[in-house]
Amino acid sequence: MKVLNIGSMNLDYVYQVDHIVQPGETISSGGMNIFLGGKGMNQSIALAKAGVEVYHGGMIGEDGQPFLDACKEYGVKGEYIRKVPGKTGHTIIQIDKDAQNCILLFGGANQMLTEDYIDEVLAGFEKGDILLLQNEVNNVAYMVDKAYEKGMQIALNPSPFDSKLDAVDMSKISIFLLNEIEGGQITGLSAPDEILADMCKRFPNAKIVLTLGSDGAVYAEAGKTYHQPIFKVQAVDTTAAGDTFTGYFLAGLVEGMPIEDILKMSAKASSIAVTRQGAVPSIPYRKEVEEALQTM
């Protein structure tokens, strides 16, 4: 079983601020760093650091070489990544003194995926392989349809949630990884237990992971639910916490681990990521996650 992730690559311009800037306000930042990120690349790196062989697909611009270098460094298979004229996607991220963030996204090359390119990438995969998707690239609905036709298992992190997802046939999704807000947008509900129950009713054959911020995460499959609390830590930057959880969760599924262990490993990996700055550099290796689990 191979894992393919077709997803975004963003240069994250991260600014430390006292508070998130308000409309009409000008504030000074306390510092700025550029990190590699993008939900897609973060999740591929999390999968690779967890020990899974993962192929990454997507587009970078002329300034995107650092992503190819990162794939080499962390063991992500980057041969499907294409360089196109123009700019790589980027973000402006503000991190406040309580480690909360807000993110402004510029799609750039992430929005240039053509149907021909998608067909070319999917040709390397077959029935039973996993396709992981988020919503920071274009043509998500097309990828879902084509991968489903091939019999691939599709894991969707519908983030950021927007109207482009209306075109996606969600009944073709095997694994949902979403937070309360995204769950609310799909179901129209707000209480987490109602969201989960409604998702299970709508997608009875899917595995569903609903992350609940400081209340941890819940998982449901075939009428059974499991709850995983968070591991409390002093957070400095929550960027990529969800991506780390997603990558580790899929890694556990690929390995056939018991669900309770998958959830615990994913929560621990995510709790380590938030103690570090940046997206890609904050994601821990499997060895570190396992050592931390043993010392509990």
Closest CA to 166 of 186, 188, 190: 186
| Of the residues 3, 6, 10, 132, which one makes contact with ligand RIB according to CB under 6 A | 10
Nearest CB to ligand RIB, comparing residues 108 and 242? 242
Measured between alpha carbons, how far is 270 from 112 in angstroms, rounded to an integer?
A: 30
46 is a site residue for ligand RIB (CB under 6 A):
no
Residue 240 as a binder of ligand RIB (CB under 6 A): the answer is yes
Report if residue 279 touches ligand RIB, rule: CB under 6 A: yes
Amino acid identity, position 239: T
Q: Which residue has the tokens 């940046």?
A: 278
In the complex with ligand RIB, the residue whose CB is nearer, 105 or 189, is 105
Give 10's strand partners: 37, 89
CB 175 within 8 A of CB 154: yes
> 8 or 271, CB closer to ligand RIB?
8
Q: How many CB atoms neighbour CB 109 within 10 A?
A: 27
61 binds ligand RIB per the rule CB under 6 A? no
CA–CA separation, 266 vs 272, rounded Å?
Answer: 10
Least spacing, CB of residue 232 vs ligand RIB, in Å? 21
**Chosen residue from 3, 17, 38, 77 binding ligand RIB by CB under 6 A:** 38
Task: Give the count of alpha carbons within 13 A of 21, CB side only.
Answer: 16
Residues 120-159 as x/- pattern, contact with ligand RIB by CB under 6 A: ----------------x-----------------------
**CA-to-CA distance for 292 and 283, rounded, in angstroms?**
14
CB of 287 to ligand RIB, least distance (A): 23
Q: What residues make contact with ligand RIB under the rule CB under 6 A?
A: 8, 10, 12, 37-39, 42, 91, 103, 136, 239-240, 242-243, 279
